[in-house]
């Protein structure tokens, strides 16, 4: 698993890097917010440990920018320990919040817990859906000689439907498994995400053959 440590304190950053590398993780680092965004683009980490108070761009803004493009898991690490700080971090799209000072063992435990919840794996987990090859390690899908970038949630949806291929999956089950939150029937979040996913992977998004809608019920891969 590749982890990005975005932290402006050099000694803390190096200490976390060494501890994670000693536990078998592949680690890249960034010392400010802009560098963190550049590392996300270049390295495509599996998980990000993100400080809030960083130069050039704070962690909140970095998280906003990341969430425009990807659902890569984010653990905020910060000396800011007020409840409102945690609430803001989680509402912006953070997956966990760890207040400084913290122990390395706790950080590693939280990394592993978030990775499980977000279906992050370091093993080879490619699977084939008709003409589409999904590679969850490289976070991409390949078809007709081209490669498209997929988010963790894209892959979670495809995997859930692939595992039940030939059978429809209810919106409730799909949402709760892939978002880890309660499903509300009036919400359009899942439908909108499926629409965006179709634009990435369907040869003709207006006439989908991979992600079929089962009206009044859910979705399926035939």
133-174 pLDDT, tens digit each: 988 777 889 999 899 998 878 888 998 888 788 889 999 989
Whether 24 shows a pLDDT value over 80: the answer reads no
CA 39 to chain CA centroid, nearest Å: 15
Q: Of residues 180 and 48, which shows the higher confidence score?
A: 48
Instruction: Output the CATH code of domain 127-220.
Output: 1.10.10.10
Does residue 65 sit in helix, strand or coil? Answer: helix
Judge contact between 152 and 205, C-beta under 8 A.
no
The 10 Å CB-count burial string (b at 16+, else e) for 169-208 is bebeebbeebbeeebeeeeeebeebbeebbebbbeeeeeb
Predicted TM-score (pTM) of this structure = 0.55
Instruction: Output the CATH code of domain 2-117.
Output: 3.40.50.2300
d(CA 33, CA 212): 40
Instruction: Name the band, by pLDDT with cuts 50, 70 and 90, for residue 123.
Output: very low
Instruction: Name the band, by pLDDT with cuts 50, 70 and 90, for residue 122.
Output: very low
Instruction: Name the band, by pLDDT with cuts 50, 70 and 90, for residue 209.
Output: very high
Q: What are the boundaries of each domain within the chain? A: 2-117, 127-220
Q: Exposed, middle or buried by CB within 10 Å (0-12, 13-18, 19+), for 124?
A: exposed
d(CA 205, CA 195): 8
CA 141 to chain CA centroid, nearest Å: 15
Whether 42 shows a pLDDT value over 90: the answer reads no
pLDDT digit string (tens) for 54-108?
999 999 999 999 888 778 889 999 887 778 888 988 888 898 998 888 888 899 8
Beta partners for 78? 99
Average pLDDT of every residue of the chain:
87
Tokens of 146: 């081209």
Q: Of residues 124 and 61, which shows the higher confidence score?
A: 61
Task: Write the DSSP symbol of residue 52.
Answer: S
Whether 196 shows a pLDDT value over 80: the answer reads yes
Instruction: Name the band, by pLDDT with cuts 50, 70 and 90, for residue 35.
Output: very high
Check residue 119 and give its pLDDT: 63
Check residue 165 and give its pLDDT: 84
């Amino acid at each position: 698993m590749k982890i990005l440590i975005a932290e402006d304190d050099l000694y803390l950053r190096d200490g976390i890097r060494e501890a994670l590398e000693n536990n078998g993780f592949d680690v890249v680092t960034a010392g400010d917010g802009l560098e963190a965004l550049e590392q996300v683009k270049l390295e495509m980490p599996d998980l990000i440990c993100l400080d809030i108070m960083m130069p050039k761009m704070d962690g909140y803004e970095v998280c906003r920018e990341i969430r425009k493009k990807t659902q890569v898991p984010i653990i905020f690490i910060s000396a800011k320990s007020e409840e409102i700080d945690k609430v803001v971090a989680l509402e912006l799209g953070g997956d966990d919040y760890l207040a400084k000072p913290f122990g390395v063992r706790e950080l590693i435990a939280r990394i592993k817990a978030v990775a499980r919840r977000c279906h992050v794996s370091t093993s080879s987990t490619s699977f084939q859906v008709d003409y589409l090859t999904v590679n969850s390690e490289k976070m991409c899908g390949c078809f007709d000689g081209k490669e498209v970038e997929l988010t963790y949630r894209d892959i979670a949806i495809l995997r859930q439907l692939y595992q039940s291929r030939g059978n429809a999956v209810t919106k409730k089950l799909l949402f709760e498994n892939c978002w880890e939150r309660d499903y509300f029937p009036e919400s359009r979040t899942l439908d909108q995400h499926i629409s965006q996913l179709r634009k990435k992977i369907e040869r003709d998004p207006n006439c989908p053959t991979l992600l079929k809608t089962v009206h009044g019920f859910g979705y399926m891969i035939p």
